[in-house]
Chain A
Amino acid sequence: MASLVSHPDEVKVVTRRFGQGATNIDRYLELDGYKAVQKALGMEPDAIINEVKNSGLRGRGGAGFSTGMKWSFVPKQSAKPKYVLCNGDESEPGTCKDRLIFEHDPHAVIEGVMIAALAVGAASGYIYIRGEYRYLSVIMQKAIRDAYAKGFAGKNIFGSGRDLDIFWHGGAGAYEVGEESALMESLEGKRGIPRIRPPFPAVVGLWGGPTVINNAETLASVPHIMLGGAEWYAKIGPPKNGGTRLFCLSGNVAKPGVYELPMGYSLKKMIYEVGGGIPGGRKLKAVVPGGSSTPCLTADEIDINMDFDSVAKAGSMLGSGGVVVIDDAQCMVKFALRTMKFYQHESCGWCIPCREGTDWLKKTLMRFHAGGGVKKDIDNMQYLSENMLGRTFCPLGDAAAMPTIAFVKKFRNEFEDHLEGRPCPFEKAGAAEEMAALAH
Chain B
Amino acid sequence: MVPHYPTKRSALVPTLLYAQDEVGFLSDEVIAELAGRLDLTELEVRNVISYYSMLTTKPRGKFNVQVCTNISCLVRGGEEILQHCAKKLGVGHKGTTPDGLFSLEEVECIGACSWAPAAQVNYDFHENLTTEKMDKVLDECRMKA
Contact = CB atoms under 8 A, between A and B. Distances in A.
Interface string B108-133: 11111111100010010101000000
Interface in A364-423: none
A1 B125 contact: yes
5 contacts: A186-B13, A192-B52, A250-B72, A251-B75, A257-B114
Contacts, number: 168
Interface of B: 4-7, 9-14, 16-17, 38, 47-48, 51-55, 69-72, 74-76, 79, 82-83, 86, 92-94, 106, 108-116, 120, 123, 125, 127
A435 B82 CA distance: 9
A131 interface: yes
A134 B64 CA distance: 14
Q: Which of B11, B38, B75 has the most CB of A within 10 A?
A: B75
A93 B71 contact: yes
Interface in A155-180: 167, 169-175
B52 A171 contact: yes
A431 B79 CA distance: 9
Nearest to B68: A93
Contacts of B52: 131, 171-174, 192
Contacts of B110: 132
A22 B78 CA distance: 33
Contacts of B16: 172
A207 interface: yes
B108 A327 contact: no
A125 to B, nearest CB: 11
A438 B10 contact: no
A330 B86 CA distance: 23
Interface stretch (A104-112, A219-227, A334-342): A334-342
A94 B109 contact: yes
B139 to A, nearest CB: 20
Contact of B115 (A2, A93, A98): A2
A197 interface: no
